[in-house]
Amino acid sequence: MEPYFDASRAEQRLYRNWEEAGVFLAGAGADHEAESFCILIPPPNVTGALHIGHAFNNTIQDILIRWHRMRGYNTLWQPGQDHAGIATQMVVERELERRQEPARQELGREAFLERVWQWKEQSGGEIVNQLKRLGASCDWSRDRFTMDKGFHDAVLKVFINLYEQGYIYRGKRLVNWDPHFETAISDLEVEQLEDKGRMWRFRYPLENGETYQHPVEYDRDGQPTAYETRDYLVVATTRPETMLGDTGVAVHPDDTRYSHLVSRTVRLPLAGRSIRIVADSYADPAKGTGAVKITPAHDFNDWEVGQRCGLSAINVMTAKASMRLRDNAAFLEGCDTEPEVLELDGLDRYEARRRIVELARQQGWLDGVSEERHVVPHGDRSKVAVEPYLTDQWYVDAEQIVQPAIDAVRDGRTRIYPAQYESIYFNWLENIEPWCISRQLWWGHQIPVWYDDEGNRYCAASEEEAAKLAGGRNLRRDPDVLDTWFSSGLWPIGTLGWPEATPELERYFPTSVLVTGFDIIFFWVARMMMMQLAVVKDIPFHSIYVHALVRDEHGKKMSKSLGNVIDPIELIDKYGADAVRFTLTSMAALGRDLKLSESRVAGYRNFVTKLWNAARFAEFHNCESQPDFEPDSVSHGLNRWIVGETARARDSVDTALASYRFNDAANGLYAYFWHKVCDWYLELGKPLLADNLEIAAETRATVAWVIEQSLIILHPFMPFVTEELWGLRKGGSDMLALTRWPQYGGAKLQDPGADADVEWIISLIEEIRSVRSELRVPAGARIPLHVLELEEGRASVVADYREMITRLARLSCIEEVKVAGRGSTPFSVAESLFSLPLADIMDLKGELDRLENKKHRLAREISKLDTRLGNQAFLSRAPQRVVEETRQRRDKLRAELAVVEQAINRFRTLIDE
């Protein structure tokens, strides 16, 4: 065996072996009639590359899957990719541009889609290979794509189903419009970004000679004391370019300044349109002048006001967010436009903004301008400011299907871990808004609705069926496609074969657990709940494990623009997949972000090496597993101890994983293997492996068992190195991935007597090492150990472990003596007293200090406990158990103190002599 595990060479071979042996297939290795365990992968975008968040998310899933598979469950990890409408269309369009090929519009829909499919075939599978590098044990034979024929059919069927039940409707309303992609997007795809901007105040002249008194001076109580007569209203806006679409000015119904003006009109500058002053409580008297311009076609709040007050909505922009005025009948109607305004036609919205402000200044209706910060909605993909835009779109009336999704979590049929995410889930669902599901894109599931020339709609699974419904009328299909999340919302039933009643659907649905990031609870998790419950009347999963975000080592969100992205594949290349996985797992504390630093990965790479070398040790010493080995029948205390430790480790892994405490599982395994097995068991066990000893055979078998048990319980976390070592040890006949998880219970393999002995031996060795180190005894020097006094029952222990103590503490001999010799250093372990004769090398003063320190530490602790035990309130109110434990501890410390004091006295005597 090499001294290191060569991850880069072994990983791909090991993965291939797993695939060829079919160990990842649904149900592989399952016990007969086993319970099923199924996880659906959150489908990565087909355009995507594996980022660290995927690596984390899929490591967690793989641990759960491998753990269950080894425990004999009938396991399915269902993989797949999402067609990711906007993202993919964007990638392919860029590709066309880069290669200077005809753009999407020139190609036309059909040819463009062909190109997307081509692209998908060539470069779409990258992320699958990357998941394999991570070790993800998905059943790739069942890989699904949200645009597959079967999945597509299922999506259309659901659309038709929901349409027919009246849960899907078409409506003309304001949507969030992304002017870059020229499509509607849903509320969730909008992110609010704060930006510094300006607030402009405009004067809109009152018509028909109306005037009002506007306060200009106030007394101390804020009461107006002087007024001026105004023949205009001042309105404020951050978006001057939309003023051409103004159809009203609103004032608060209780605002006495303006009440006589309600229903009068102002003349909209530039457009020359008469617009009505309306009373609506949306206008806040305390803000600005209390009068607010209303642009129903370009602002969500204004839209509501317009609906309430009967104002028309005039769209003054194109889909690209440039001004549309010249051939805009709605705009021109009722206008007495000034020539300048038509020159704005076709200008980009920001250019139009500058021009309008400039015109306002020139024409004298600019009242003022102020700087302020405000939040501007942006498209999460395009990063451009979205426009509220008036269009016809398809909506899911989510309110009608939301209740079962709320109930399922309320009554615990689906549980969310950690529970704090439940309230986020409820809060969103209880305030659900209609879901805009149509997108003006080409790549996606085209909406299965046809229109005849009169505009009647026919919703059907195919053109033929629509034609039948239409009775031969001329039809054209709705050009829009569905929101990507509409189809991924059907991921659970869609991947398992619905609407066919497949065996997989029967066996694996509802699925066991969904592992996902909190950032897509709304996008995806909540919608899957709603849609599965609406379509098949059942929950999609029993549990939802919500994990946090992976951030950089300073806690910043990783992003390309910040340049702080850690590429998991680079980490895997450098440290191996096992190290990357173990790092992520060890940091996966429930409900907390992880800050990833590379040094941590390097640390776990060292753990992989440690495991590798422990196995190498076993090989050197011919420690081979014995078929008839019974862990509970070993005789030597050391072997009995490690068997018990191993059982405890297995037990705590199971407990931790069952409650999704992945970090506890990983850290427990790390401590067990490195600090128990390697630091102590293998070191103490070395003397027992000498060929001439009777105990050697048992110890070799125990070492083999311990190593192999460790490989098994580490396998879900570090599948590659464990599988490789398993193969090296077992000759490759059976695979670790399908090896049965140990069932032995904790109690049967525990031996408290052996545990106490070994722990005492460890303390003794540590104490000797500590003394040696502090007294600067050369590391290579062998020194004698004098035994002065032993606690009851320890004599045989010292005898049994004599050689181990000698070796690990680098002693020349262990002798019983009656009195400590001149120049020797006494020290204590629990209640036993020893000394090290170090006359020529020791630092007397330093050693005395060391003992005094220990004495003070003990004395301080004892005094704390004494105070507590002297407190009547404590004695009467604390639980008896706690009182008793405190007393025992105090007594034990007192005994130790006595021994230390004895050591000090002896030492003083020696110094005085």
- Identify residues 339-398 at the interface with RNA (CB under 7 A): 375
**Rule CB under 7 A: is residue 854 a binding residue for RNA?**
no
- Torsions phi, psi for 352 (to 5 deg): -60, -40
Element (H, E) at 511: strand 511-517
Contact status: 573 vs RNA (CB under 7 A): no
Q: Does 659 bind RNA (CB under 7 A)?
A: no
Min dist. Cβ of residue 457 to RNA (A): 30
Residues of this chain, 185-244, that bind RNA according to CB under 7 A = 187-188, 191-192
CB of 22 to RNA, least distance (A): 32
Q: Does 887 bind RNA (CB under 7 A)?
A: no
User: Applying CB under 7 A, does 426 fall inside the site for RNA?
Assistant: no
Shortest distance, position 759 Cβ to RNA, whole Å = 12
As measured in angstroms, the least distance from the Cβ of 190 to RNA is: 7
Contacts 24+ apart (CB under 8 A), 185-188: 185/86, 185/379, 185/380, 185/381, 185/386, 185/436, 185/439, 186/435, 186/436, 186/437, 186/483, 186/485, 187/433, 187/436, 188/522, 188/523
Q: Which of 828, 830, 827 is nearest to 889 (CA)?
A: 830
Which tokens sit at 104?
């999407």
Rounded CA separation 747/632 (Å): 10
Interacting residues of 201 by C-beta distance below 8 A, sequence separation 6+: 234, 235, 236, 288, 289, 366, 367, 368, 369
Taking CB atoms within 8 Å and a gap of at least 24, the contacts of 650-653 are 650/709, 650/713, 650/742, 650/744, 651/745, 651/746, 653/713
Q: What whole-number distance in Å separates Cα of residue 355 and Cα of residue 364?
A: 14
CA distance 487 to 445: 8
Q: Per CB under 7 A, does 646 bind RNA?
A: no
Q: Which of 219, 780, 840, 845 binds RNA (CB under 7 A)?
A: 780
Token digits for 553?
Answer: 């080592």
Nearer to RNA, 256 or 431 (CB): 431
Please provide residue 183's backbone torsions phi and psi, each rounded to the nearest 5 degrees.
Answer: -145, 160
* Residue (117 or 282) nearer to RNA, CB: 282
Based on CB atoms, which residue is closest to RNA, 203 or 381?
A: 381
Q: Rounded to the nearest whole angstrom, what is the least distance from the CB of residue 303 to RNA in the complex? A: 13
Asked if residue 173 binds RNA (CB under 7 A), the reply is no
Least distance to RNA, CB of residue 162, Å: 23
The span from the CA of 331 to the CA of 316, in Å, is 7
Residue in 420, 456, 474, 622 binding RNA, rule: CB under 7 A: 420
Q: By C-beta, is 116 or 666 nearer to RNA?
A: 666
Question: Assign residue 209 a region: left if phi > 0, alpha if psi is -120 to 50, beta otherwise?
Answer: left
Dist. CA 298–CA 316, nearest whole Å: 8
Q: Is the dihedral of CA 346, 349, 350, 356 positive or negative?
A: positive
410 binds RNA (CB under 7 A): no
Does 779 participate in binding RNA (rule CB under 7 A)?
Answer: yes
Which one of residues 45, 176, 663, 702 is an interface residue with RNA (CB under 7 A)?
663
Task: State which of residues 626, 674, 730, 901 lies at the interface with RNA (CB under 7 A).
Answer: 674
Give min distance, CB of 548 to RNA, in A.
8
**Token digits for 62?**
């793989």
C-alpha span between 579 and 717 (Å, rounded)? 9
Give the contacts of 682 (CB within 8 A, at least 6 positions apart). 614, 617, 703
Q: Which of 363, 871, 905, 909 binds RNA (CB under 7 A)?
A: 871
Instruction: Provide the token pair at 698.
Output: 């048992």
The reply to whether 593 sits near RNA by the rule CB under 7 A is yes
For the bound state, the minimum distance from the C-beta of residue 433 to RNA, rounded and expressed in Å, comes to 8
Told to check if 4 binds RNA by CB under 7 A, we report yes
Residue 348's DSSP bridge partners are 322
CA 460, 462, 463, 465 torsion-angle sign: negative
Q: How far is the CB of 46 from RNA (least distance, A)?
A: 24
Q: Where does this chain touch RNA (CB under 7 A) — which range of 63-71, 245-253, 398-406, 770-778? A: 770-778
Q: Which is nearer to RNA, 763 or 909 (CB)?
A: 763
Q: Could you say which of 76, 416, 490, 594 contacts RNA (CB under 7 A)?
A: 594
Question: Binding RNA by CB under 7 A: which of 222, 879, 912, 913?
Answer: 879
The residues pairing with 183 across neighbouring beta strands, listed in sequence order, are 178
Nearest to RNA of 127, 525 (CB atom): 525
**Interface region with RNA, contact rule CB under 7 A, candidates 148-156, 288-296, 383-391, 592-600:** 592-600
Taken in order 588, 589, 591, 595, the sign of the CA dihedral is: negative
**Residues touching RNA, count (CB under 7 A):** 73
Interacting span for RNA (CB under 7 A) from 287-295, 363-371, 871-879, 901-909: 871-879
Which structure tokens are listed for 865?
Answer: 């406990």
Q: Can residue 613 be called a binding residue for RNA (CB under 7 A)?
A: yes
Contact range with RNA by CB under 7 A, out of 240-248, 566-574, 824-832, 877-885? 877-885
Among 122, 223, 225, 599, binds RNA (CB under 7 A): 599
Q: Hey, which residues between 287 and 326 contact RNA (CB under 7 A)?
A: none
Binding to RNA in span 45-84, by CB under 7 A: none
Q: Residue 464: is it exposed, middle or buried by C-beta count within 10 angstroms (0-12/13-18/19+)?
A: exposed
Q: Minimum CB separation from RNA for residue 766, in Å?
A: 4
- Helix, strand, coil % (nearest 5) of the chain? 50, 20, 30
> What residues between 243 and 282 interact with RNA by CB under 7 A?
none
Binding residue (CB under 7 A) for RNA from 362, 559, 606, 635: 606
- 589 counts as binding RNA under rule CB under 7 A: yes
Of residues 729 through 768, those in contact with RNA by CB under 7 A are 766
Strand order through the sheet with 476-477? 457-459, 449-451, 476-477
- Residue 460 or 682: the one with the smaller Cβ distance to RNA is 682
How crowded is residue 913: how many other Cβ atoms within 10 Å of its Cβ? 7
Lay out the site mask for RNA across 518-557 (x = CB under 7 A, - = otherwise).
-x--x----------------------------x-xxx-x
Query: Does 874 sit near RNA (CB under 7 A)?
Result: yes
Compute, in degrees rounded to 10, the torsion defined by CA atoms 482, 486, 491, 492.
Answer: -140
**Which range touches RNA (CB under 7 A), out of 336-344, 394-402, 866-874, 904-912?**
866-874
**Candidate residues 19, 148, 452, 683; the one interacting with RNA per rule CB under 7 A:** 683
* Extended beta strands in 151-307, E state: 168-178, 183-185, 190-205, 212-218, 224-230, 232-237, 248-251, 265-268, 273-279, 291-294
- Span interacting with RNA, options 29-37, 75-83, 589-597, 652-660, rule CB under 7 A: 589-597
Candidate ranges 40-48, 281-289, 668-676, 753-761; the one touching RNA (CB under 7 A): 668-676
Q: CB of 546: closest distance to RNA in angstroms?
A: 11
* Options 307, 659, 770, 905; binder of RNA; rule CB under 7 A: 770
Q: Compute the Cα dihedral for 295, 297, 301, 304 and give only its sign.
A: positive
Please report whether residue 399 would count as binding RNA according to CB under 7 A.
no
Distance CA 851, CA 828 (A): 9
Query: Measured between alpha carbons, how far is 118 from 92 in angstroms, rounded to an integer?
Result: 10
Let me know: does 1 contact 727? Beta carbons within 8 Å: no
Q: Does 595 bind RNA (CB under 7 A)?
A: yes
> Minimum distance between the CB of residue 383 and RNA, rounded to whole angstroms?
14
Print the binding letters for residues 792-831 with RNA: x by CB under 7 A, - otherwise. Answer: ------------------x---------------------
Indicate whether 877 belongs to the interface with RNA (CB under 7 A): yes
